[in-house]
Amino acid sequence: MRYIKKFDSLIVESVREGLKEFCEMNLAYLLDDDYRVYITLPSSFFGKSYIINFIKWRFDHKLSFSWEDIMDHFIPFLQRLSASYTVDDECFIDVPGNSQGNLGKTLVLSVGSLINDPNIVNSFTENEIGNIIIIVKDE
């Protein structure tokens, strides 16, 4: 039984590494510009899925970014990701609070709406995004 557990963990790590490599190849331009992609191992909260967390990181802190800065590269990435993996229909976009007292919020948008209507994000974010979370289901 203990060998089955080790084998399963090897499969999980292999899938995670493959997904990470896919993201890094398809987001290379953005990754060169201080953006980062983190892949979290399957979570019971989201079922047996991998979580892609896309952020902007400089030196030792996270930065906010605008949708317009990334959409020309991020939308083709979403299209390729959806063609290659089983992607959950919901995508989570964290919008940070600001100094005027606006509290942060998390937008839940469909991946299809991001692909088909890229300007939908601008109607909610006031040009500030903290991170984007996409869930890839494990087959």
Residue 94's contacts (CB-CB under 8 Å, 6 or more residues apart) are 104, 105, 106, 107, 129, 130, 131, 132, 133
Domain boundaries, the chain: 2-137
Q: Pairing relation of β-strands 131-137 and 86-95? A: antiparallel
Does pLDDT of 13 surpass 80?
A: no
Residues 33-55 have pLDDT tens digits of 999 999 987 556 656 788 999 99
Does pLDDT of 3 surpass 70?
A: no
Residues 76-105 have pLDDT tens digits of 999 999 999 999 999 999 988 766 666 778
pLDDT (average), residues 100-116: 84
